[in-house]
Structure 1
Amino acid sequence: MGRLSGKVAIITGASQGMGEAHAKAFVAEGASVILTDVNAVAGEALAEALGSQAMFVKHDVSSEADWAEVVAAGEARFGRVTVLVNNAGIIGTIAKTADLSAADFAHVCAVNQTGVFLGMRAVLPSMVASGGGSIVNISSTSGMIANVGTPNLAYAGSKFAVRGMTKQVAVEYGDQNIRANSVHPGYVKTPMMVAATDEDGGGAAAGIPLRRFAEASEISPLVVFLASDESSFITGTEHVIDGGMIVC
């Protein structure tokens, strides 16, 4: 316990799924956490349950103005932001490329790609002023390889983009003691994944060496590690956590 003591973290998409699991793990490890999500009811309830180390801000990650408000509110409550977990993401319409509308493509990229850019840009001044920080961008195995089960081109493209943007920020801000890494989960039992596929894995799990989907709580220890000083010499790298799926 206490691996994140003194850290001030923003976690997006924190009302449910992996974001909720990350928020719980961060508070348990001593961080002060700004939870953000478009789902205010669930987010406020979670922040209240987590106690004085947590606060909630309703937040559309594709909005520049919302990002400015999140950082300002977090700094006013807890001080300068030293950790960012860009977790919010959407799957979008499940469709092959020829059937994917330009509007659907743009919506997925606005959340999954532009949202990550806006988040990094918003917190970097705070991190520079505090003497360093850690950015953890949640991508996907669909940002590593072309998966047969990837829902659409926009999802794959945005997740690959997150991987590249992470590396660029790591290069640009390493001399400011700011690290940036991407996390690439495979199938995880989250409400979003349940809505898109069989919760228990079904045929998808048959292609995973561990023969099951991950629990959201199994991803959080990796995110905690990358946010902590234990990973102080790790930056610009991909961290795959998929039960062995992409080795098959």
Structure 2
Amino acid sequence: MRRLTFGRLFNPIAVGRAVFTPSRPDRVHDSAVKRLQILRTILGLVAISWMLLSYGVASDADAVVDERFAQIRTTLVMLGATFPVAVAVFIAASRPPNRRVFLRRAAKPAGALFALVVTLAAPRLITGLGYVDEKTDWTASAGRVVMLFALGAFLLWLAPFALYGIAQSLVHVFRTADLHDTVPPILATLLVWELAVFDVFRGAYDTVPFAVRMAFLLGAPVSVTAVSLWELRRLRAQHGISVRGALLR
């Protein structure tokens, strides 16, 4: 990974790569696992978007985007609650000296989650405070014009940073490979089943046929679980890395 210099701070993708991409030097780099993770993410987004449009859950492409961002917000809320509990259980289950190592490593995944939450909240916070809206007087004063120009430039920078961060967070499960290579598949499985249960209780996709609704409610958890089990098996078979080994059990 290239070093993040002052000049590269103006490149939102470079900053996003530094914030959201795992960087632990000794983590496993397995191209087969990475390709499958990316394919799983793309297929999931395409399938859900197709269902939302085909069965009238969303009226148009803008509604699909709104629905996906709403689901991302829900995911962030649930992950915000799940992440510290899952990490705490993982660390508590490990034995010294790994316990202290994992506790130190948890800072980067937590920072990536916090950065994405702040990024998604920033535009609403700016508009909510009344800095930019349809009644904004762009010529009130020179100082205000400079401030508004700076806010506009910041929002333009923030858009690709947020999109890149969302994509990387989905693929890398919020940088949790920096904690340990086995954590992303475990956390992804836990989170996707939580979301499925949440969708059942909130009555998601009630307007679509029952068979289709069941396929989409269970399709993601089952497929993610299968991919995660395969990833854990490959880590153990190809690289000698296992959950028991991480916990020193």
Q: Same fold (TM over 0.5)?
A: no
Structure exhibiting the larger radius of gyration computed from Cα positions: 2
Per the normalisation by structure 1, the TM-score is 0.25
Q: Which structure shows the bigger proportion of residues in helix conformation?
A: 2
Which one scores higher on RCO, CA 8 angstroms, separation ≥ 6? 2
Q: Which structure shows the bigger proportion of residues in strand conformation?
A: 1
